Amino acid sequence: MEKAIQRLLSRHKEVEAKLGSATSFDNQRAWRELTQEHAYLSSIEAAWTILQQQEKQIADNKELLQSESDPEFISILKDDTASLEIDIEKRKAELETLLIPPDPNDSRSTILELRAGTGGEEAALFVADCSRMYRMYSDKMGWKYETLSYTPSDFGGFKDYVMVLSGKDVYRFLRYEAGTHRVQRVPATEAQGRIHTSAITVAVLLEPDESDEIVVDERDLRIDTFRSSGAGGQHVNTTDSAVRITHMPTGIVVGCQEERSQHKNRDKAMRLLVAKLAELDVEKRHKEMADDRAAQVGSGDRSERIRTYNFPQNRLTEHRIGLTCYNLDQVMEGELGRVTEGLVAHFRQRRLD
């Protein structure tokens, strides 16, 4: 650990020198990146300085103990040393965590795409339940959310639901939601009270920002308009306000029917299309990371699950980290923190190992 810290401390001096140069403001994006890196490196320097001071204090205490004869003072020195040793262990753990630099994408706006998998209407109803869960979690985290598109099912659920969330650390806590979510419960349509197993898939995409150079040629698009389905009143049902966009080179299809305005629906559909094209670009450049959308969501089959929601037992099981909790009713009300924080800690530790 010490060698890694020394390298970072050397980098800290380099960054300070760059920030102090007369040309540091010429490139605003580079300047912002340098200031962020400087803040990160400064936190490491501060923690390392305190650790060194505490270790020196322990060494001084041990040296004094060799020559001290006063029992009361010896007791004080021993107590102080024991307290410092506890603090040092905490400081080392803090430094190990700090050695993993913050992900620049942690607070990037994040798109969640929920789709019904195995289970028909019951899966569609669970898409609706989970979209509500994520909205309520967003409220608790102080994030903002916006619906991009959805396709209603016949019994009040959604065949698919796409939303974008924004706020501090939103991607950090939602990135590991990608995968197949399995639900076990008695459907409202089940007359004999039998438990059914269904599944939905969740994909997580970063919404591109100004630094992402995603160019969409209008000639590559096929844009279809149609009448919206579902709730919305007479206006929605009698105008071709819904929009479907097909990107011909990739075959990606996106759509939106939430807004009454065809123009607004087109804008939202384009945002989703650009996000999917950006993700596709990342996949091409980082195939070795195996983080493409197909790997995230699998086939939607019940057996490929990252998490199980068992309603009869009020139990949630997060299979990747072996977490089981019996407060599923609270989780569905947005109390998702224990799960997301556990996932962040788990994958952070894997990066350290």
Domain of 268, CATH number, reads 3.30.160.20
Residues 142 and 71 occupy one common structural domain: no
Q: Shortest CA distance to 18 belongs to which of 1, 4, 31?
A: 31
Above 90 in pLDDT, residue 129?
Answer: yes
pLDDT for the residue 233: 41
Domains identified in the chain, total number: 3
Q: Are 170 and 108 in contact (CB under 8 A)?
A: yes
| In the predicted structure, residue 209 carries a pLDDT above the cut 70 | yes
pLDDT digits (tens, 9 = 90+) for 311-329: 999 999 999 999 999 999 9
Residue 342, judged by CB atoms within 10 A of its CB (0-12, 13-18, 19+), counts as middle
Decide if 293 is inside a domain.
no
What's at 110, amino acid-wise? Answer: T
Assigned domain for 261 exists:
yes
Residues 265 and 138 reside in one and the same domain: no
For 271, the domain range is 218-285
Same domain, 269 and 322: no
Tokens in use for 245? 């966009």
Q: What is the pLDDT of residue 289?
A: 41
Q: Is the pLDDT of residue 189 over 70?
A: no
Query: Residue 156 domain-assigned?
Result: yes
The pTM of the full predicted model, rounded to 2 decimals, is: 0.66
| DSSP of 163-196 | EEEESTTHHHHHGGG-EEEEEEE--TT-TT---E
**Residue 71 maps to a domain:** yes
Q: Please indicate, yes or no, whether residues 203 and 118 belong to a single structural domain of this protein.
A: yes
Give me the phi and psi of 215, to 5 degrees please. -105, 125
- pLDDT for the residue 236: 44
Name, in order, each residue with C-beta under 8 angstroms of 205's C-beta and a sequence gap of 6 or more.
110, 111, 113, 275, 276, 278, 279, 293
278 and 186, same structural domain? no
Can you give the CATH number for the domain in which 206 is found? 3.30.70.1660
Shared domain check, 225 and 199: no
Q: Write the DSSP string, 260-291.
A: S-HHHHHHHHHHHHHHHHHHHHHHHH-GGG--
Same domain, 91 and 117: no
Does residue 60 form part of some domain? yes
pLDDT at 237 over 50: no
Average pLDDT over the chain reads 86
Compute how many other C-beta atoms are within 10 angstroms of the C-beta atom of residue 10. 11
Please report whether residue 105 resides in a domain: no
203 and 117 both lie in a single domain:
yes
Within a domain: 104:
no
Count Cα atoms within 13 angstroms, Cβ side, for 326.
2
Q: How many CB atoms lie within 10 A of CB 296?
A: 22
Tell me, yes or no, whether 303 and 274 share the same domain: no
Q: Do residue 202 and residue 233 come from a single domain?
A: no
Mean pLDDT of 29-39: 85
Asked whether residue 80 is assigned to any structural domain, the reply reads yes
